[in-house]
Amino acid sequence: MSDTLESDPPIVEGKPSPFAVPAGCFALSVREVQHYTDRLFRFRVSRPREFRFRSGEFVMIGLPNAEKPVFRAYSIASPAWDEELEFFSIKVPDGPLTEHLQKIREGDTILMRKKPTGTLVNDALEPGKRLWMFSTGTGIAPFASLIRDPETYDKFGTLILTHGCRLVDELKYGQDLVAALREDPLIGELVEGRLIHYPTVTREPFEHQGRITDLITSGKLFEDLGLSRMGPEDDRAMICGSMAMLKDTKELCLSHGLEEGANNKPAQFVVERAFVD
């Protein structure tokens, strides 16, 4: 692992950037890029030795392609123990950052502000028997971090990761992640029988269909899993997705008797938005 920039000047889209690395930022080398659909991709970058974060937090990411780079919040999808940092991103046509970010290649440089933050962390919840992780789209990213962190299994008995997407192809990141985790020589055993994955699709046929909010309201989610409905005694929840999804899922958590928590006041559920445009 290297903690310095491997290319000087920074490289973006295969060419040297005329712009310097701004103060307060790490310049990180792109190690791997994987495209899933014309809307989704994942990338991994080098991790500076001094960069510490809690699984589930987010950072601000930009590119060294402008004098005043555009930064957007990205959840770190890799766990706190990983030697690299992973991100899962949407591609927005004409999006001020993602239009360029989607073209990055191995060896390019990205910028990352030094301070991580966020509410989807184990510290913001009281311990519980079940942890529900409700996500849509790229909102699965913080949970990709948390389900790979042994600390999450210390604090909660069973983890239920729900992932709602429009199309089946958009589920692949989560499906690959869970499959790899079950095979992992270090954490695979810990995960066995304790991680439940519930993908659902809204715009084409699939094994599970419908918005997660509708599946909670109708009770189908709990029926499909053979689990009781959520309640404040045993259940904790984390929510990450679009603004509308956050609002609707939060209301459902409240109506099931769960109370919202924060870093300085742990309770029964927490909410974060997937910010990228």
Applying CB under 6 A, the residues found at the interface with ligand A2P are 136-137, 164-166, 202-203, 211-213, 242, 244-245, 248
Strands 40-46 and 84-90: antiparallel
The token pair that represents 9 in the structure block = 């000047």
Nearer to ligand A2P, 146 or 165 (CB): 165
Nearer to ligand A2P, 42 or 44 (CB): 42
Query: Please, what is the minimum distance in Å from the beta carbon of residue 271 to ligand A2P?
Result: 13
Q: Which residues of 232-270 are buried (b: 16+ CB within 10 A; e: fewer)?
A: beebbbbbbbeeebbebbbebbeebebebbeeeebebbb
CA distances from 262 to 123, 162, 197, 222, 255 (A): 8, 22, 25, 26, 19
In terms of CB distance, is 136 or 145 closer to ligand A2P? 136
Complex with ligand A2P: residue 12 or 77, whichever CB lies closer: 77
The three-class DSSP label of residue 220 is helix
Q: How far is the CB of 37 from ligand A2P (least distance, A)?
A: 11
Considering the complex, state which of residue 104 and residue 245 has its C-beta at the smaller distance from ligand A2P: 245
Residue type at position 83: E
Q: What is the smallest separation between the CB atom of 217 and ligand A2P, expressed in angstroms? A: 10
State in angstroms the smallest separation of the CB of 88 from ligand A2P. Answer: 13
Work out the burial of residue 190: count CB atoms within 10 Å of its CB; fewer than 13 is exposed, 13-18 middle, 19 or more buried.
middle
State in angstroms the smallest separation of the CB of 92 from ligand A2P.
11
Give me the residue label for tokens 């309201």: 217
Q: Least distance from C-beta 243 to ligand A2P, angstroms?
A: 8
Q: Which ranges constitute the DSSP H helices of 161-237?
A: 172-183, 188-191, 212-218, 220-225
* All residues at 6 or more sequence positions from 153 whose CB lies less than 8 Å from its CB, including other chains: 159, 190, 191, 194
Cβ atoms of residues 239 and 253 within 8 Å = yes
Is 64 or 139 the residue whose CB approaches ligand A2P more closely? 139
Q: Which is nearer to ligand A2P, 113 or 256 (CB)?
A: 256
CB of 203 to ligand A2P, least distance (A): 5
Q: Look at the alpha carbons of 7, 46, 135, 165 in this order and tell me if their dihedral is positive or negative.
A: positive
